[in-house]
């Protein structure tokens, strides 16, 4: 019974993250176009992220993109890796690498913007 509850939870979580990404992805494309149209100076490149609300949206889209990717890779590992020890280890490695990458990326974006830097 626990496997069914976990499967339903993963399914709902995957669909919710897809829905959030569906609504935030057009904004992210607009942000990328704004960055590409700038003159590639650091101050002008991160200018769209000066607004705290836009910065928050960017961090949220990064979180849900990583979360969505980890859930997808976890389902693939559960379906196609039959050795439980290797499957458990690989899922944990994917989760840890995703968390580390997200934290480093968020910290880098946070500190590269001179308005938010310590």
For 70-110, the DSSP string reads HHHHHHHHHHH---HHHHHHHHHHHHHHHHHHHHHHHHHHH
| Owning domain of residue 24 | 2-112
Higher-confidence position of 85 and 110: 85
Structure tokens at 55: 């910065």
Task: Give a yes or no: residue 118 inside a domain.
Answer: no
- Number of domain units in the chain: 1
Among 115, 17, 116, 3, CA closest to 70:
17
Question: Cα(86)–Cα(88) distance, rounded to whole angstroms?
Answer: 6
Task: Give a yes or no: residue 60 inside a domain.
Answer: yes
pLDDT tens per residue, range 26-77: 888 877 777 666 555 455 555 556 677 878 888 889 999 999 999 999 989 9
Q: What is the CATH number of the domain that holds 11?
A: 1.20.1300.10
pLDDT tens per residue, range 66-106: 999 999 999 899 889 999 999 999 999 999 999 999 999 88
Task: Give a yes or no: residue 117 inside a domain.
Answer: no
Task: Give a yes or no: residue 14 inside a domain.
Answer: yes
pTM for this prediction:
0.78
Q: Is the dihedral of CA 104, 28, 41, 53 positive or negative?
A: negative
């Amino acid at each position: 019974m626990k496997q069914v509850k976990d499967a339903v939870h993963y399914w709902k979580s995957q669909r919710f993250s897809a829905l959030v990404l569906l609504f935030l992805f057009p904004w992210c494309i607009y942000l990328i176009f704004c960055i590409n149209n700038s003159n590639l100076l650091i101050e002008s490149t991160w200018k769209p992220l000066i607004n705290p609300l836009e910065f928050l949206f960017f961090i949220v889209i990064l979180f849900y993109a990583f979360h969505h990717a980890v859930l997808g890779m976890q389902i693939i590992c559960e379906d196609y890796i039959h050795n439980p020890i290797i499957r458990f280890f690989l899922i944990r490695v994917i989760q840890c690498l995703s968390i580390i990458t997200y934290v480093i990326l968020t910290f880098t974006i946070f500190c590269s913007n001179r308005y938010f830097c310590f």
